[in-house]
């Protein structure tokens, strides 16, 4: 299920924050040198402010988020520019909007996506070219 387009013709016209993080292992030597490596697939998180909504826009967003099954539903998608991010889930089981000014509403949405990647060590990559 795609998040509804609130403004614009093909994409929600909102600022957003995208954070990519990885569980990282760290080896440290006596001389202070470190080696870091990725220990698990990464996590992409989107924070969408959804501010200055009309009541109609708020109700559209509320209906879309209510039909998702909270954190257990990983079927949401979000299009940013030419890229569509799929397999997103809500970070909260509940969503609410506040009236920021008369008949204008704000209700932030946080989504997370697990990234499936094939990770290999440097030695494995060098060995594959010999």
- Name the token pair of 118: 């094939």
Is the entire prediction scored with pTM above 0.95? Answer: no
User: Rounded to an integer, what distance in angstroms lies between the CA atom of residue 88 and that of residue 110?
Assistant: 10
Ordered per-residue pLDDT tens for the chain, 130 residues: 667 666 655 555 567 888 888 888 999 989 989 998 888 777 788 998 888 888 988 998 888 888 877 677 788 888 777 778 888 888 888 888 999 888 889 889 898 886 654 444 444 444 444 4
All structural domains of the chain with their residue ranges = 17-26+34-128
């Amino acid at each position: 299920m795609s998040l509804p387009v609130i403004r614009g013709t093909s994409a929600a016209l909102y600022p957003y924050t995208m954070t990519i993080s990885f569980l990282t292992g760290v080896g440290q030597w006596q001389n202070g040198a470190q080696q870091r490596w990725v220990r698990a697939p990464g996590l992409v998180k989107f924070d969408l402010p959804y501010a200055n909504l009309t009541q109609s826009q708020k109700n559209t967003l509320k209906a879309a988020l209510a039909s998702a099954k909270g954190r257990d539903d990983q079927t949401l998608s979000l299009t940013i520019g030419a890229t569509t991010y799929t397999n997103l889930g809500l970070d909260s089981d509940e969503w609410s909007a506040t009236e920021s000014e008369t008949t204008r509403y704000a209700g932030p949405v946080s989504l997370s996506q697990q990234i499936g990647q094939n990770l290999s060590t440097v030695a494995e990559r060098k060995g594959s070219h010999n």
